[in-house]
Amino acid sequence: MSEQSRRLATRLRAVRRLCGPAIVFAFVLAVTLAATPVPARAVTPRSGPRVSTMLPEPASGPQPASVAVTALLAAPKPGTGLWYWPVGTETFGGWSGWLDSRGSYYHIAQDMPASVGHAVWAIGDGVVWKARSDAGGYGPGGSLGGVMIIVHTTATGQQFRALYGHISGLRYKEGQTVAAGAVIAKVNGCAHLHFSIHPGTVYRDGNMYAGHVPKSWSDHGGFVDPVKFLKTHPRLIPYVPPPVPWTTIPTTTAPEDYGAAAGAAYWTEEGLAGSATFRFDLASGTRSMLTADEVPPPFDVARYPALLLPSPQLGFKVGDRLPVIIASARHDTPVWGAAGRLTGVLSSAAGRRFGGGRVRLERDSAAGWVRVAAAPTTSAGRVVFAYVPPRHTTLRMVFLPPSTQPAARTYLTTTSVSVSLTPHVRLTVPVIPSVVRRGHTVAVTGFVTPRHASGSTCMSLMFQRLEDGAWITASPRALVCHDNGVRSSYRRLVRFATPGSWRVRAVHTADGAHARTSSRWRAFSVR
Ligand SMILES: [Zn+2]
């Protein structure tokens, strides 16, 4: 036993208020298996140290109410970050949390109160890395108890390890996959779950079961605040493609040479008058007969799977495996350097939306399309990107189908409609005296930062006058934009014949490189 372990064991004996009978576990700081980056591969049952830096945890805070039997079975709805929170709540009032002090140790987990026997749910899909019922310190009073470590994945593809401690009745073994929200175990006699997150693959002392780490470890052994982590790293939503939409095409006799291409199905029927070839428009549903000179195009079997209807029906059905991305962007980025929001909706050709479909944002460049970002779609098929255009930029969204899919649910890749974003000219609010004398010449001044390629009369001042409660636009006054790529000033002399309440703003009209943009209004009166 090392000196450090001896000190720790002494500490343990000193702990009096425990979550159960005070059985003090003799402690050995184990240094064994370094964590492997790939969890499911070559898993040895009961691998890893049997003991851990897990101090006995007192039951603190309000005691949880006893749970109904149904709570053991039904997974709660996902909470913040779309995670299933391990005992169904995101509030842990009074219970030991991240970096709570325990002598010379920090608690590197969140204790989640739950009555003995309460279900513990997997926060997301994952692979069980460690599952054992004899880990030191995880039973009542610091005795041996159950712990499970599951490798989960965030929406951005980051893998991390979640530790579920003080459990019993473990339902999964090492190497098994776990579905989001599945019951993995129940809370043991400690009446709370000890839940921690380690985003790395290397454990500082080789002890993946650590519940507390020395305060001298500034990196907290690689553990992070589990609640904050879940709330800031959303869950990966599994890709669930909608069923391929099928169009049924009844025929008069058994169809021959049937298939589809470019939005239309074709087939040949043998009738009393000889053979005839038909065309069926998949969008409109209209059918027509081809003339003797017309030949159907080669069938696109990749996009349009075709199947004969089961006997005794006559006809066939055609699927359409093309997903569509409908992309849009707010074209008027407010100021130079601000991000434009690009929104995409991923759906099948029949309009069914894909959740968890991966969409890549690409930028047009001299070298071709360049990846900018990628993100999965929400359950409503939506994806949102923020992009700061350095210049007039054409972007597109690309659907990335998963590499392995059951054939009937396979969708093909496609590109979206392109979206253009244009950085804007920055305009200040024009300066004009708050009171202007009618008939007198006055100067309107301001600043413009054009940042575009060629100079022109590209700006104007828009004046409006209040008349019967409505703003009436007077003819705009053009301004020359000094296009040297730096902030420059303008000065325009104007004269007003009509007294009243007026306002003015600077407007940069749309041109080849810019969308229209405006400054805020400046109010003044003419007397
Ligand atoms: Zn704890």
* pLDDT tens sequence across 292-331: 888 999 998 888 989 999 988 899 999 888 888 887 776 5
pLDDT at 391: 66
Fold match flag (323-421 vs 426-526): yes
Predicted confidence band at 74 (pLDDT cuts at 50, 70, 90)? low
Ligand 1 centre to CA of 124 (Å) is: 21
Q: How far is the CA of 55 from the centre of ligand 1 (A)?
A: 8
User: Does the CA dihedral 75-79-81-82 come out positive or negative?
Assistant: positive
Question: What three-state secondary structure class fits 247?
Answer: strand
Closest to 49 in 3D by CA, of 205, 280, 200: 205
Tell me what the mean pLDDT of segment 77-93 comes to: 88
Q: How far is the CA of 194 from the centre of ligand 1 (A)?
A: 4
And the tokens for 193?
């779950």
Q: How long, in residues, is the chain?
A: 527
Can you give the pLDDT at residue 357?
Answer: 81
Confidence grade of residue 139 (pLDDT, cut at 50, 70, 90):
very high
How far is the centre of ligand 1, averaged over its atoms, from the C-alpha of 82 (Å)? 23
CA–centroid distance, 224 to ligand 1, in Å, is: 13
What are the CA-CA distances from residue 517 to residues 428, 449, 504 (Å)?
11, 12, 14
CA 115 to centroid of ligand 1, rounded, Å? 15
Strand spans (E) along 136-255: 145-153, 159-168, 177-178, 183-187, 192-198, 212-214, 246-250
User: Do 9 and 48 touch, CB atoms closer than 8 A?
Assistant: no
Query: What is the assigned CATH class of domain 426-526?
Result: mainly beta
**Ligand 1 center–CA 96 separation, angstroms:** 6
Amino acid occupying residue 245: P
Q: Which amino acid is at 241?
A: P
CA of residue 259 to ligand 1 center, whole Å: 62
> Which pLDDT score is estimated for 215?
93
353 vs 315, higher pLDDT: 315
Looking at residue 298, what is its pLDDT?
94
Q: How far is CA 291 from CA 57, 217, 255, 265, 397, in A?
A: 84, 82, 17, 16, 40
Contact of 321 with 412, CB cutoff 8 Å:
yes
Token pair recorded at residue 163:
């530790």
Assess whether pLDDT exceeds 60 at residue 455.
no
Ligand 1 mean position to 4 CA, how many Å? 21
Distance of CA 213 from the midpoint of ligand 1 (Å):
12
Please check the confidence at residue 448 and state whether its pLDDT lies above 90.
no
Contact status, residue 240 vs residue 355, Cβ threshold 8 Å: yes
Q: What is the pLDDT of residue 40?
A: 30
Query: Ligand 1 mean position to 109 CA, how many Å?
Result: 6
* CA 143 – ligand 1 centroid, Å: 14
Q: Strands 382-387 and 340-348, how do they pair? A: antiparallel
CA angle, 87 then 91 then 95, to 5°: 90
Instruction: Decide: 176 and 124 in contact? Cβ < 8 Å.
Output: no
A 10 A CB-CB count for 396 gives: 20
At 39 the pLDDT is 31
- pTM: predicted TM-score of the whole model, two decimal places: 0.49
Question: How many other CB atoms are found less than 10 A from the CB of residue 166?
Answer: 31
What's the gap in Å between 242 CA and the centre of ligand 1? 42
83: its two tokens: 């995670």
> Rounded to the nearest whole angstrom, what is the distance from the C-alpha of residue 487 to the centroid of ligand 1?
58
**CB within 8 A of 514, min separation 6: which ones?**
392, 422, 423, 424, 425, 452, 458, 508
- Distance in Å, CA 211 to ligand 1 centroid: 6
Contact 372, 395 (CB under 8 A): yes
Q: What is the 142 CA–ligand 1 centroid distance (Å)? A: 11
Q: Where are the domains positioned within the chain?
A: 3-232, 246-319, 323-421, 426-526
pLDDT higher than 80, residue 478: no
What confidence tier does 505 reach under pLDDT thresholds 50, 70, 90? very high
**What is the 231 CA–ligand 1 centroid distance (Å)?**
19
CA of 87 to the centre of ligand 1 (A): 14
CA of 132 to the centre of ligand 1 (A): 17
Find the radius of gyration of the CA atoms of the chain: 34
Looking at the predicted structure, is the pLDDT value of residue 470 above 70? yes
Which of 182-196, 252-266, 357-371 shows the lowest mean pLDDT across its residues?
Answer: 357-371
Quote the pLDDT of residue 51.
52
Q: How far is the CA of 437 from the centre of ligand 1 (A)?
A: 75
Burial (0-12, 13-18, 19+ Cβ within 10 Å), 217: middle
Of the given ranges (99-103, 155-159, 178-182, 337-341), which has the lowest mean pLDDT? 337-341
Task: Pull the structure tokens for residue 260.
Answer: 């589809």
CATH class of 323-421: mainly beta
- Angle 232-234-235 (CA atoms, 0-180°, nearest 5)? 145
* pLDDT average, residue stretch 74-82: 77
In the reported structure, the alpha carbon of residue 166 is separated from the centroid of ligand 1 by a whole-number distance in angstroms of: 8
Q: What token pair was written down for 273?
A: 């008058």
Q: Name the least confident of 99-103, 233-237, 407-411, 424-428.
A: 407-411
Residues above pLDDT 90, as percent of the chain: 38
| pLDDT score of 9 | 40
State the distance from the centre of ligand 1 to the C-alpha of 69, rounded, in angstroms.
25
pLDDT number for residue 274: 83
What is the CA(356)–ligand 1 centre distance, in A?
33
Identify whether the C-beta of residue 517 lies closer than 8 Å to the C-beta of residue 470: no
| Residue 72 scores a pLDDT above 90 | no
Q: Is the pLDDT of residue 456 over 70?
A: no
pLDDT tens-digit map of 391-419: 667 888 888 776 655 455 667 766 666 77
Residues whose CB falls within 8 Å of the CB of residue 323, separated by 6 or more in sequence, listed in order:
346, 347, 348, 349, 354, 357, 399, 401, 411, 412, 413, 414
pLDDT at 70: 40
Largest CA distance in the chain: 100
Residue reference for tokens 């991923």: 346
Determine the average pLDDT of the residues in 187-197: 94
Q: Over 70: is that where the pLDDT of 115 sits?
A: yes
Q: In the predicted model, what is the mean pLDDT of residues 483-492? A: 71
- For the chain, what is the mean pLDDT? 79
Residue 407 has a pLDDT of 55
Question: Could you tell me the distance, in angstroms and rounded to a whole number, from the CA of residue 90 to the centre of ligand 1?
Answer: 15
Judged by average pLDDT, the poorest of 32-46, 128-142, 168-182, 327-341 is 32-46
More confident residue, 46 or 186: 186
1: CA distance to ligand 1 center in Å?
25
The arithmetic mean of pLDDT across residues 422-429, rounded, is 74
Q: Determine the distance separating the centroid of ligand 1 and the alpha carbon of 190, expressed in angstroms.
A: 10
pLDDT digits (tens, 9 = 90+) for 161-175: 999 999 999 999 999
Please give the sequence-ordered ranges of beta strands (E in DSSP) within 233-379, or none if there are none: 246-250, 256-261, 264-271, 274-281, 287-289, 306-308, 315-319, 323-329, 340-348, 358-365, 368-376
197 CA from centroid of ligand 1 (Å): 12
Residue 157 clears pLDDT 50, i.e. is over it: yes
Distance 103 CA to ligand 1 centre (A): 14
Which pLDDT band, with edges at 50, 70 and 90, does 510 fall under? low
DSSP 3-state of 186: strand
Q: Is the pLDDT assigned to residue 1 strictly greater than 50?
A: no
Q: Kindly list the distances between the CA atom of residue 181 and the CA atoms of 53, 120, 125, 170, 235, in Å, as whole numbers in the listed order.
A: 28, 9, 8, 15, 12
Distance 159 CA to ligand 1 centre (A): 22
Ligand 1 center from residue 195 Cα (angstroms): 7
Q: What is the 189 CA–ligand 1 centroid distance (Å)?
A: 13
Q: Which residues sit opposite 505 in a β-bridge?
A: 462
Q: Which residues contact 502 (CB under 8 A, 6 or more apart)?
A: 436, 463, 464, 465, 466, 496, 523, 524, 525, 526
As a whole number, mean pLDDT of residues 276-283 equals 91
Greater confidence (82 vs 416) lies with 82
**Which residues are near ligand 1, the ion (C-beta closer than 5 Å)?**
57, 109, 111, 194
Q: When comparing pLDDT for 93 and 525, which is higher?
A: 525
pLDDT at residue 44, rounded to an integer: 33
Spatial contact of 457 and 342, defined as CB atoms under 8 Å apart: no
Alpha carbon 11 to chain centroid, angstroms: 45
How far does the centroid of ligand 1 lie from the alpha carbon of residue 196, in Å? 8
Q: Which of 87, 93, 137 is nearest to 117 (CA)?
A: 87
Domain 3-232 has CATH 3.40.50.300: no
Cβ neighbours around 42 below 10 Å, total: 8
